[in-house]
Amino acid sequence: MVTSPLHMEEINRAPLDVLSLHAVAKDFLQPKSTMHGFEWKDVRGVEGIGFVRALRTILTSQLPKILPDLDNAIANHIHLELKRYQPNKAEDPEFYDAAYNFPQDSAFAAEILRVLPKPFAQFIASWFTRNYRSSGSLHRLLSAEIKKRTNACKGDDQPPPSDGLQWLIETAPKKCPWSTDRLVGEVMGVWYGSVHTLSIAATFALLDLYSHPECVDPLREEVKNLDFSSLTGAGDDLPLLDSFLSESARLNAFESSKP
């Protein structure tokens, strides 16, 4: 977002209550319009710590269990794609369609809302996103699922699901509980960040990898020698890969304003 040495130095000198990555994200995403009316707080305070714990601690601790299944799922999906097989069944096609389109629709609408005059921006953004169809569908389906899970927790002896949504529900503030709408909005924000950012970063990383074939063998060797049983989730596990991805992200700041 900031590329000149002068502006970087200004950020380094600025007090914490003047500049905020959270505020920048809010300006980029325009969540009130693109995330079904959800209004992010201007200051990310203590009440958001639970989500940090869910994503940084609980998710990381589950990686040794998740990675083998994820590896199999990716391999199977690639195999199906190579055979040009188009699956015609899904657990909830509407949810998958909304979840798939929501990040792209939100990013596109947010950019329109940021750069065009408001009287025109709302109409144009609404038209291009089919009246924010994916956002509305995702909000409705997530609301139903969260209500189902929170009600089940009150009177059901069955263990809750062990997935990202459940961890976010369980780490939400207990002292001043969030409403379903607030929780859905936070989950949609996490979903946008995880899907939109990761997919673009991965695309640039692959392009950089093909542009620098001399990096392939060292990276492959590092992954081959990794002991998954002792995985910590820190950059120390795969220092070469961590450095390669960091440099790729630095050179391809895809959410920065380009001249």
Torsion of CA 136, 137, 138, 141, to 10 degrees: 120
Q: Where are the alpha helices (DSSP H) in 116-215?
A: 118-128, 133-155, 164-170, 180-192, 198-211
Q: From 156, 148, 186, select the one nearest 50 (Cα to Cα).
A: 186
CATH number at residue 104: 1.10.630
Q: Is the distance from CB of 137 to CB of 36 less than 8 angstroms?
A: no
Task: Tell me 238's DSSP state.
Answer: S
Quick one: pLDDT at residue 135?
93
> What range defines the domain where residue 237 resides?
5-251
In-domain check, residue 40: yes
In-domain check, residue 97: yes
Quick one: pLDDT at residue 47?
57
In-domain check, residue 258: no
More reliable by pLDDT, 3 or 60: 60
Give residue-wise pLDDT tens across range 135-182.
999 999 999 999 998 887 666 677 888 888 999 999 888 888 889 999
Please give the C-alpha separations between residue 36 and each of 104, 139, 149, in angstroms, as whole numbers: 15, 7, 21
Give residue-wise pLDDT tens across range 199-248.
788 889 999 999 999 999 999 999 888 877 666 655 577 889 989 998 99
Q: From 155, 135, 148, select the one nearest 180 (Cα to Cα).
A: 148
In-domain check, residue 257: no
Q: Is the distance from CB of 59 to CB of 164 less than 8 angstroms?
A: yes
Give residue-wise pLDDT tens across range 51-76.
778 888 888 888 888 888 888 888 88
Collapsing DSSP states into helix, strand and coil, what is residue 131? coil
In-domain check, residue 256: no
Q: From 104, 114, 108, 123, select the one nearest 26 (Cα to Cα).
A: 114
Of the segments 81-90, 104-113, 245-254, which one has the largest average pLDDT value?
Answer: 104-113
- Whole-angstrom Cα distance, residue 194 to residue 142? 16
The predicted model scores a pTM of 0.61
In-domain check, residue 69: yes
How many domains does one find in the chain?
1
Q: From 146, 30, 154, 50, select the one nearest 95 (Cα to Cα).
A: 146
pLDDT of 258 above 60: no
In-domain check, residue 89: yes
Give residue-wise pLDDT tens across range 97-106.
998 899 889 8
Quick one: pLDDT at residue 12?
82
Q: Is the distance from CB of 125 to CB of 109 less than 8 angstroms?
A: yes
Q: Where are the alpha helices (DSSP H) in the chain?
A: 5-13, 21-29, 31-34, 49-52, 59-61, 63-82, 93-115, 118-128, 133-155, 164-170, 180-192, 198-211, 216-224, 239-251
Q: From 143, 191, 187, select the one nearest 168 (Cα to Cα).
A: 187
Quick one: pLDDT at residue 259?
34
**Which tokens belong to 14?**
């600025």
